[in-house]
């Protein structure tokens, strides 16, 4: 994948002192030929559009069937759902793609493709948005662009949101990572950034970027009425709330969710499945940030994860299925065991897209039910239990779909914070099941070890972070240090 004004990269810096690496052009560094000498509004927009692509589940964005490199499809479902025991690699166990099993069984190494894959996806996105941000903030380039100021602010808002989003993904998986805020032009610049930055400083940069985004977007639900998949003020506020959640700034979680509510755009859909139904994209009220897959585009923009499901990949675990309360309607809407179909990832209550390598099924990153449960969690942490349980009951009421005989309300007069927190944990697991949140939830709740060892997984303290891809450590001669224990 190559565009005139963008670069390809596997990481921020792929350098080494030894000749076998210096013989190759360092990926992540601009050449004179790749610099856009006379950028226009159209080339900047194209660059930002391309910066969204690492969010896609499209097949082979960064290589041709590079399974072991974690590059056939974005591997976050492996790092979240397989690792946490909510999903299995396949419906019928086999030896295919053993590196996925290694993550699931916690006998992985720093060479595992799941880690290098997610690293590449995110730093590819960061590289692309850094180019756009540089163009949209450089006075000389701004003068060349002659772009209306409100348009420049919107595009800068999109780019700033995306950079925060990509860095959030990296920090939640790896902790401290290199922080790159400018396009790299030479070797010396690459060496300067070839080291980790404390995650607290990266969180601060995310918040700075998100403030730029919030200030740059209008209050409209869609920042672009003809391309409604683009980031918006709602997405930026929601990501701000999620950062506050991970930083355990509980009061700010509530403040940010209230600010999101004040926009008036989002609410729970009446029907649970509407958020996933491919026919209801932009006709429902719950999804805040998605990647909008489309079929029949060149280059491809379809959802390739549905192709993997046609090959038997991604099945629910028995442990996950047992987590649903009796007759919880969400269970059969999430997965049809008999047909071996994960409905919510197939975008339909059928197997119509199973095996389709170019399906139109969207990838949901932030939806309102998730956000509401962040707020409930914050209320619990602040010992505001009635407010928390009221939100949990709001989720349960929607889930039971008018059937008064299932999913009874939780007791809003509960006084035991531990009980309320268990209710919250249960609700997140079944409401958001197989949406690639579970492992991060277990880690931040500090129950990953107890939960996963009880499931028979050999989880150790080091597994609270994933290993930095070993190739990145090696190619920087250790300047990017390996995470502890790997």
Q: How many CA atoms lie within 13 A of 308 on its CB side?
A: 27
What pLDDT score does 478 carry? 84
How would you class 177 by CB atoms within 10 Å of its CB: exposed for 0-12, middle for 13-18, buried for 19 or more? buried
What pLDDT score does 191 carry? 67
Q: How many CB atoms lie within 10 A of CB 295?
A: 16
What pLDDT score does 57 carry? 98
pTM above 0.85, yes or no: yes
What pLDDT score does 36 carry? 55
What pLDDT score does 192 carry? 73
pLDDT < 70 regions, the chain: 1-37, 186-188, 191
What pLDDT score does 425 carry? 98
| Distance in angstroms (rounded) separating the CA atoms of residues 114 and 372 | 30
What pLDDT score does 38 carry? 80
| Distance in angstroms (rounded) separating the CA atoms of residues 338 and 457 | 27
Each residue of 255-287: pLDDT tens digit?
999 999 999 999 999 999 999 999 999 999 999
Each residue of 357-416: pLDDT tens digit?
999 999 999 999 999 999 999 999 999 999 999 999 999 999 999 999 999 999 999 999
Q: How many CB atoms lie within 10 A of CB 26?
A: 18
What pLDDT score does 204 carry? 98
353 φ, ψ to 5°? -100, 5
Query: Residue 90's beta-bridge partner residues?
Result: 313
């Amino acid at each position: 994948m190559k565009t005139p004004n963008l670069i390809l990269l596997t990481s921020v810096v792929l350098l080494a002192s030894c000749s076998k690496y210096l013989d190759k052009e360092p990926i992540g560094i601009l050449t004179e030929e790749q610099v856009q000498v006379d950028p226009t509004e159209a080339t900047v927009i194209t660059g930002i559009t391309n910066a969204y692509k690492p969010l896609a589940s499209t097949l082979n964005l960064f290589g041709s069937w590079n399974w072991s490199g974690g590059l056939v499809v974005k591997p976050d479902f492996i790092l979240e759902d397989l690792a946490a025991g909510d999903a299995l690699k396949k419906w019928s166990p086999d030896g295919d793609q053993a590196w996925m099993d290694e993550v699931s069984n916690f006998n992985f190494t720093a060479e595992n493709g799941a880690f290098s894959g997610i690293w590449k996806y995110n730093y590819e996105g960061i590289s692309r948005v850094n180019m756009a941000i540089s163009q949209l903030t450089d006075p000389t380039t701004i003068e060349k662009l002659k772009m209306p100021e409100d348009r420049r602010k919107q595009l800068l808002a999109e780019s700033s949101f995306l950079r925060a989003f990509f860095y959030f993904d990296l920090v939640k998986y790896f902790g401290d990572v290199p922080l790159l805020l400018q396009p790299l032009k030479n070797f010396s610049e690459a060496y300067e950034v070839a080291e980790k930055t404390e995650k607290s400083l990266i969180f601060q940069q995310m918040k700075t970027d998100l403030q730029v985004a919030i200030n740059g977007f209008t209050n409209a639900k869609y920042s672009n009425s003809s391309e409604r998949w683009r980031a918006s003020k709602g997405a930026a506020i929601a990501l701000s709330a999620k950062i506050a959640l991970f930083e355990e700034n509980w009061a700010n979680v509530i403040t940010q969710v209230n600010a999101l509510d004040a926009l008036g755009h989002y609410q729970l859909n009446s029907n649970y499945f509407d958020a996933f139904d491919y026919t209801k994209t932009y006709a429902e009220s719950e999804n805040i940030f998605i990647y909008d897959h489309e079929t029949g585009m060149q280059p491809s923009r379809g959802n390739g994860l549905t192709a993997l499901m046609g090959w038997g990949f991604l099945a629910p675990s028995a442990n996950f299925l047992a987590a649903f309360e009796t007759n919880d309607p969400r269970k059969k809407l999430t997965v049809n065991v008999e047909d071996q179909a994960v409905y919510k990832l197939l975008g339909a209550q059928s197997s119509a897209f199973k095996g389709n390598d170019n399906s139109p099924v969207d990838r949901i990153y932030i939806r309102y039910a998730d956000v509401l449960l962040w707020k409930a969690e914050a209320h619990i942490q602040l010992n505001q239990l009635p407010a928390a349980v009221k939100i949990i009951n709001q989720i349960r009421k929607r889930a039971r779909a008018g059937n008064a005989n299932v999913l009874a309300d939780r007791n809003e007069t509960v006084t035991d914070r531990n009980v309320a927190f268990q209710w919250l944990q249960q609700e997140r697991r079944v409401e958001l099941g197989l949406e690639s949140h579970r492992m991060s939830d277990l880690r931040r709740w500090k129950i990953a070890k107890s939960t996963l060892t009880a499931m028979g997984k050999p989880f150790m303290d080091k597994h609270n972070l994933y290993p930095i891809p070993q190739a990145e450590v090696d190619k920087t001669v250790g300047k990017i240090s390996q995470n502890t224990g790997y």
